[in-house]
Amino acid sequence: TDQSLIRNFCIIAHIDHGKSTVADRILQLSGIVPKREMHDRFLDRMDIEQERGITIKSQAVRLPWVKDGVEYTLGMIDTPGHVDFTYEVSRALEACEGAVLLVDATQGIEAQTLSNLYMALEDDLTIIPVLNKIDLPSAEPDKHAEEIANLIGCSTDEVLRVSGKTGEGIRELVDRIVDQVPAPKGDPKAPARALIFDSVYDSYRGIVTYIRMVDGELKERQKIRMMGRGTVHDPIELGVISPDMTPTKALGAGEVGYIITGVKDVSQSKVGDTVTTEANPANEPLPGYQDPQPMVYSGLFPIDNAQFPELRDALDKLKLNDAALVYEPETSVALGFGFRCGFLGLLHMEIVTERLSREFGMDLIATAPNVTYQVTMEDGSEHTVTNPSEFPDGKVRRILEPVVSADIITPKEFIGPVMELCQDHRGRMGTMEYLSPERVEMHYKMPLAEIVFDFFDQLKSRTKGYASLDYQSDGTQSADLVKVDILIQGEKIDAFSAIVHKDKAYAYGVMMTKKLRKLIPRQQFEIPIQAAIGSRIIARETISALRKDVLAKCYGGDITRKRKLLEKQKAGKKRMKMLGHVEVPQEAFIAALSTG
């Protein structure tokens, strides 16, 4: 393909502003999806995406487009909007020269509109501003065009107006992309260099690696080299997605496509690595990506511990398609063998556990999520704690917690409630700017731990759903934190240890001990359940002793009933964990962890 006729662009927007719907209309107009195969949000290919109505993965697709008698090749990438999937967006941006910035004409600019725009500008992409949903009666295109024009410094006429629902304005939008997005500028004669921006494990074909060709050409049956890994492969297929995998003989500079090597070893394909040819390798790899920093950690344990090796295999494969996921093995007294996993947020964590269950058949339990702490002890030793149960013993000099800078956009009548909410979450207010006479952007510094859990839901409810939130890591601060342990008959249950603010320690202790008292069955002896900070007990509940033997119920009854009861007990025992002398059904741990 002639590079001057290629246009690579992505669609970026705040969540729900209509990226996938606009992508549908573009796909349809290009004619590559037959009418009977078209369905809503065509590029949201996963079941979870369809069910939840959100995009989780960036999806690249190639389309033909004819303008003034010339046929162009478009590389379009639909991206996710939720803050937890920013890493997906940032990698997609790297594969493009332009970005369509979509804004819902009934809502205007929201927090992820800004963060996505700033990322695109940092990558020097050409921005095409577009108002979507102009078919809705509540759309206020003039007002929001003004907002956008102010933001990116263009005139209001340059802001296109479209409807992903009716298709109005979509043809003009694509023509604008062809006119304004620059063609790729790689050197077609240079040694091949392609950036790996994504990959996926396919159980039939092995690893599928998605690449953006920068320089040179890759050809069928030509050995390739992964520059970072240093491995050499024979590709068995090269191709483009249009709209499904379509083999091609070669991929040239500027093209977006895929490679299949038939290799099943998942470590061979690393997002951010550069692909070159073995015969004529490039000297320098492409810059690649910065590894994302996990925001929250949680332990994932198979409910059936025999599934541990399968869980490792599933994580390795899922990681191919989710480069933001990190994990390392962990053991827990209460839950057995599992993995401590790092996520970009709670939605990311939820999606990972759900994909592990759906795509890999894993039945999992997740421990309560926490952020990372830097702990300095009185003896000067330093510890990075991603797991509360690994919190060092002894006298603590200082604990640093991660801080974020948060940007909240809200109609001005909610400024008061938002300030109150942020204060309750230990936020420090920075500046505040008016985006328009009615809407403001407020800046806060806040502990990450205060924002990742319930903050967003509360923000939505206090602003009738009108406020939006975005945040980025912004260093650390020292904080008054303590570790609370939960003990059953004097034994610490690691899965329930938590690092909490001093003011919230008591509440956590009372909540956990009460919960466990209800969940653990009575036994032959009394069982104390305690919450402690170091050796100081802050809460206690007691499970009183069982007076009667289980068989007493069957006194005088027939023997088969008795045997049945004993067998039932035995089956139940398999799922019991021994903590000292106390038998705890695994269900009790699961129930205690899952209800928050």
Determine which helix (DSSP H) or strand (DSSP E) holds 28, and give its type and residue range.
helix 19-30
Residue 535 CB neighbours (<10 A): 6
Identify residue 520 by its one-letter amino acid code.
I
- Identify the sign of the CA torsion 49, 293, 271, 119: positive
Contact 518, 591 (CB under 8 A): no
**DSSP type of residue 549:** -
**Residue 562 touches ligand GTP, criterion: CB under 6 A:** no
**Residue 369 touches ligand GTP, criterion: CB under 6 A:** no
- Exposed, middle or buried: residue 577 (CB in 10 Å: 0-12, 13-18, 19+)? middle
Known binding residue 223? Answer is: no
Residue 346 CB neighbours (<10 A): 17
Determine which helix (DSSP H) or strand (DSSP E) holds 579, and give its type and residue range.
strand 576-579
Q: Which stretch binds ligand GTP (CB under 6 A): 16-24, 266-274, 361-369, 437-445?
A: 16-24
Among candidate residues 128, 164, 160, 167, the one with its CA nearest the CA of residue 145: 160
Please identify, using beta-carbon distances, which residue of 9 and 373 lies nearer to ligand GTP.
9
CB of residue 295 to ligand GTP, shortest distance in Å: 19
Q: Per-residue x/- mask for ligand GTP, residues 411 to 430, rule CB under 6 A?
A: --------------------
CB of residue 90 to ligand GTP, shortest distance in Å: 15
φ and ψ at 352, to 5 degrees?
-60, -50
**Residue 21 touches ligand GTP, criterion: CB under 6 A:** yes
Please identify, using beta-carbon distances, which residue of 81 and 129 lies nearer to ligand GTP.
81
**Residue 133 touches ligand GTP, criterion: CB under 6 A:** yes
The DSSP secondary structure of 413-447, one letter per residue, reads GGHHHHHHHHHHTT-EEEEEEESSSSEEEEEEEEE
Among candidate residues 180, 148, 179, the one with its CA nearest the CA of residue 161: 148
**Residues 389, 85, 374, CA angle at the centre, nearest 5°?**
30
* Binding test (CB under 6 A) with ligand GTP, winner from 1, 20, 209, 367: 20
Known binding residue 19? Answer is: yes
* Binding test (CB under 6 A) with ligand GTP, winner from 29, 48, 135, 504: 135
* Binding test (CB under 6 A) with ligand GTP, winner from 29, 41, 360, 591: 41
Known binding residue 73? Answer is: no
**Residue 17 touches ligand GTP, criterion: CB under 6 A:** yes
* Binding test (CB under 6 A) with ligand GTP, winner from 31, 50, 51, 53: 53
- How many positions of this chain bind ligand GTP (CB under 6 A)? 21
Q: Per-residue x/- mask for ligand GTP, residues 158 to 197, rule CB under 6 A?
A: -----xxx--------------------------------
Known binding residue 478? Answer is: no
Window 282 to 321, contacts with ligand GTP (CB under 6 A): none
* Binding test (CB under 6 A) with ligand GTP, winner from 13, 120, 253, 452: 13
Please identify, using beta-carbon distances, which residue of 54 and 259 lies nearer to ligand GTP.
54
**Residue 131 touches ligand GTP, criterion: CB under 6 A:** no
Known binding residue 395? Answer is: no
Coil/strand/helix, residue 466:
coil
323/207 Cα distance (integer angstroms): 14
Q: Per-residue x/- mask for ligand GTP, residues 74 to 113, rule CB under 6 A?
A: ------xx--------------------------------
* Binding test (CB under 6 A) with ligand GTP, winner from 16, 84, 322, 470: 16
Contact 432, 412 (CB under 8 A): no
**Residue 209 touches ligand GTP, criterion: CB under 6 A:** no
Known binding residue 303? Answer is: no
Known binding residue 134? Answer is: yes
**Phi-psi sector, 130: left (phi>0), alpha (psi -120 to 50), beta:** beta
* Binding test (CB under 6 A) with ligand GTP, winner from 38, 136, 232, 566: 136
- Which residue, judged by CB position, is nearest to ligand GTP in the bound state? 81
Q: Return all residues near 286 (Cβ < 8 A) that are at least 6 apart.
A: 193, 195, 214, 274
Known binding residue 133? Answer is: yes
Largest Cα–Cα distance of the chain, in whole Å? Answer: 94
Six token digits for residue 142: 């003039």
Please identify, using beta-carbon distances, which residue of 24 and 441 lies nearer to ligand GTP.
24
223/147 Cα distance (integer angstroms): 51
Among candidate residues 300, 297, 276, 301, the one with its CA nearest the CA of residue 286: 276
Residue ranges for the known binding site are 16-21, 132-135
Residues that bind ligand GTP (CB under 6 A): 13, 15-21, 41, 53-55, 80-81, 132-133, 135-136, 163-165
Annotated binding-site residues for GTP read 16-21, 132-135
